[in-house]
């Protein structure tokens, strides 16, 4: 009997929560997402950065909320029935991200993720971790570590 070795490799599959922002599709690693909520009352915080919508009370915990449209310098758009707040935790710090809508949980083979191409010094480009190149879609993957690492500085 021929003693052959199985050399097949199981490809890593990454999971993302996808969302829309300014008619483009974005994704964040599902491991950082705690929950997804409808827009609730957001309390403004004086003297905070313009992209900080304010804070929300989430089951007794005060959570800063970042408007990604403003953070990425897109035109402002009022919240509607599809708008959501993605509650994310990174290194013990919880923040909310306001997005236009949440699409799905997507499983992407690691081989389908490409490095972000070099771009201008546009503020939003430094938060791009890579691109998921699927057959009929190109999804921008946000580096949540970089985004949240500098994002929330309440006064």
Q: Read off the CATH number of the domain in which 84 is found.
A: 2.40.50.180
pLDDT of residue 150: 57
Between CA 19 and CA 100 the distance in angstroms is: 7
Is 9 within the bounds of a domain? Answer: no
Interval 46-77: pLDDT, tens:
999 899 999 999 999 999 999 999 988 899 89
Mean pLDDT of all residues belonging to the chain: 86
Distance CA 136, CA 106 (A): 14
Residue 78 structural domain:
14-151
Mean pLDDT of 17-32: 94
- pLDDT tens, 70-118? 988 899 898 999 999 999 988 888 999 999 999 999 999 999 999 887 7
% of the chain at pLDDT higher than 90: 59
| HSE toward the beta carbon, residue 149, CA cutoff 13 A | 7
Structural domain tally of the chain? 1
Whether 1 is in a domain gets the answer no
123 has pLDDT over 70:
no
7 domain-assigned: no
Asked if residue 2 is part of any domain, the answer here is no
Within a domain: 5: no
Report which secondary-structure segment, H or E, holds 145: helix 144-151
Is residue 127 in a domain?
yes
Could you tell me where the beta strands, DSSP code E, fall in 30-154? 33-38, 52-58, 61-67, 84-90, 93-99, 101-109, 113-115, 128-133, 138-142
Residue 8 lies in a domain: no
């Amino acid at each position: 009997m021929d003693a052959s070795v199985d050399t097949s490799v199981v490809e890593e599959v990454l999971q993302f929560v996808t969302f829309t922002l300014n008619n483009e599709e974005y994704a964040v690693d599902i491991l950082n997402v705690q929950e997804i909520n409808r827009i609730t009352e957001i309390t403004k915080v004086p003297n905070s950065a313009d992209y900080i919508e304010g804070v929300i009370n989430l089951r007794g915990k005060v959570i800063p909320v970042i408007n990604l449209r403003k953070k990425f310098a897109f035109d402002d758009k009022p919240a509607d029935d599809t708008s959501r707040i993605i509650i994310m935790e990174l290194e013990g710090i919880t923040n909310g991200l306001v997005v236009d809508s949440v699409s799905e949980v997507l499983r992407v083979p690691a081989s389908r993720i490409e490095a972000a191409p070099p771009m201008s010094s546009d503020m939003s480009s430094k938060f791009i971790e890579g691109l998921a190149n699927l057959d009929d879609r190109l999804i921008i993957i946000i580096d949540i570590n970089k985004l949240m690492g500098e994002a929330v500085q309440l006064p």
